[in-house]
Amino acid sequence: MKALATLFFGMFVMGSTELLVVGVLDLIADDLSISVPAAGSLVTAYALGLAIGGPVLTASTMKLDRRIVLTTALFLFIAGTVATVVTTSFAVLLAARVLTGAFQGVFIAAAFAAGTAVVPAERAGRAMAVVISGTAVSGAVGVPLGTFAGQALGWRGSFVAAALLAVVALVATLALVPSVPSTGTGVGGQLRYALAPRVLALLGLTFLVFSSVYAALTYIVPFLDSVTGISGAPVSVFLLAYGGACAVASFGGGRFADADAARTLVVGTVGVAASLAALYFFGTVGVLVAVLLLAIGGFAMGMAPSLQYRVTVLAGPGSAFAQSLPASAANVGIAFGSFAGGAAVGALSVSAAVLAGLAIAMVAVPVAWASGLLVAPAVPETPASESVLCGV
């Protein structure tokens, strides 16, 4: 499965680069003589570039061969990362982050289309899981490695390393990913199906799932400190538990998507809600907190392939454009969840961030159940059957 492995690697490199700023935030602030909160806006800029620019670029390239889109996105991503390294202007750095986020967004959509094209229809969910796992593994492994590189090489050196890895991904894509001609119609025809109410319902569920998780996760370090009594180096063990669970679940979630994606979403949302409730009530027990972080990561990322799969199925002929939308909904959800958690902490206490996540998760449960009643449009094409190019 060389093509899928290549797509996984491309997602891993881009995901690591997206979150690399988190580990070198203080170094960037010192080098550019800006405040840490200002440097933190580089994370927001990237997320907005992905959430907004990704769908826009996907819409403008949907008639192109997916392999061409993938390689072009990687090339421009490399150029944006190089601009990040050489600039001394914060404004240019901010713009480069927005653009590289947009290039990752269009890469994600093309990777899903190419990934499902190189497997039989009944394995589409597992192919999506492999693609999604690149991002999940980048959070678990790539970010700590990037942080280490930043401390050893400086923040610019860490981005040079990211650019070099992206070059490897580009060469591998050229060599191993087959041509995947677009089967989509024009933008108008795509939007009619991709933005249908049934698809928007799944995007709303995606928003709720990631909002609920990140309302709590954004403030998990102060929660561990003030509630669980864990601080310093041991915190990394708890974060690694969450990241590892995300990585494993994103792989395994593909089988659940192929078997019954709608049921997986119900089980996953109930699992996230129950785990957040337990985290709030038993947050003082360190071992249990570690287990609950494993559960939250497992349930949340175990749903990710099913969310992607259901969106593309319900979009029908609009799947080429719809492929880019779950990532956008997830990023908007992450931003909202962080805001909601912060508001709860400011008004009450650190524990209130978990309550905010639980409240959002409780809304997600009935939405997940109702989404299972939705059916694909009555047209001959479906995203799974559109893609049967077995060139792995």
Kindly state the helix (H) or strand (E) to which residue 355 belongs, with its residue range.
Answer: helix 352-371
Measuring CA to CA, how many Å separate 189 from each of 62, 278, 316, 349, 361?
11, 46, 11, 49, 34
Q: What does the alpha-carbon distance between residue 331 and residue 137 come to, in Å, rounded to a whole number?
A: 17
pLDDT digits (tens, 9 = 90+) for 39-86: 777 877 888 888 888 888 888 887 888 899 999 999 999 999 999 999
Q: Is 165 exposed, middle or buried (0-12, 13-18, 19+ CB in 10 A)?
A: buried
What pTM, to 2 d.p., does this model score?
0.76
- Looking at residue 208, what is its pLDDT? 95
Q: What does the alpha-carbon distance between residue 188 and residue 198 come to, in Å, rounded to a whole number?
A: 18
Would you place residue 188 in the very low, low, confident or very high pLDDT band (cuts 50, 70, 90)?
Answer: low
pLDDT (average), residues 324-342: 83
Q: Is the pLDDT of residue 352 over 80?
A: yes
Of 64-78, 226-240, 354-368, least confident by mean pLDDT is: 226-240
Going along the chain from its start, the domains and CATH numbers come out as: 2-182 (1.20.1250.20), 189-371 (1.20.1250.20)
pLDDT digits (tens, 9 = 90+) for 273-298: 999 999 999 988 888 998 998 999 88
Would you place residue 153 in the very low, low, confident or very high pLDDT band (cuts 50, 70, 90)?
Answer: confident
- Looking at residue 384, what is its pLDDT? 40
Measuring CA to CA, how many Å separate 207 from each of 51, 56, 177, 260?
12, 19, 31, 21
Q: What does the alpha-carbon distance between residue 256 and residue 20 come to, in Å, rounded to a whole number?
A: 31
- Looking at residue 217, what is its pLDDT? 82
Q: What 8-state DSSP symbol labels residue 138?
A: I
Q: What does the alpha-carbon distance between residue 158 and residue 343 come to, in Å, rounded to a whole number?
A: 33
- Of 126, 5, 55, 6, nearest in space to 315 by CA: 55
Q: Is 380 exposed, middle or buried (0-12, 13-18, 19+ CB in 10 A)?
A: exposed
**HSE, side-chain direction, 13 A CA sphere, residue 297:** 26
Q: Which three-class secondary structure state does DSSP give residue 389?
A: coil
Q: Is the pLDDT of residue 360 over 90?
A: yes
Q: Which residue has the higher pLDDT, 279 or 327?
A: 279
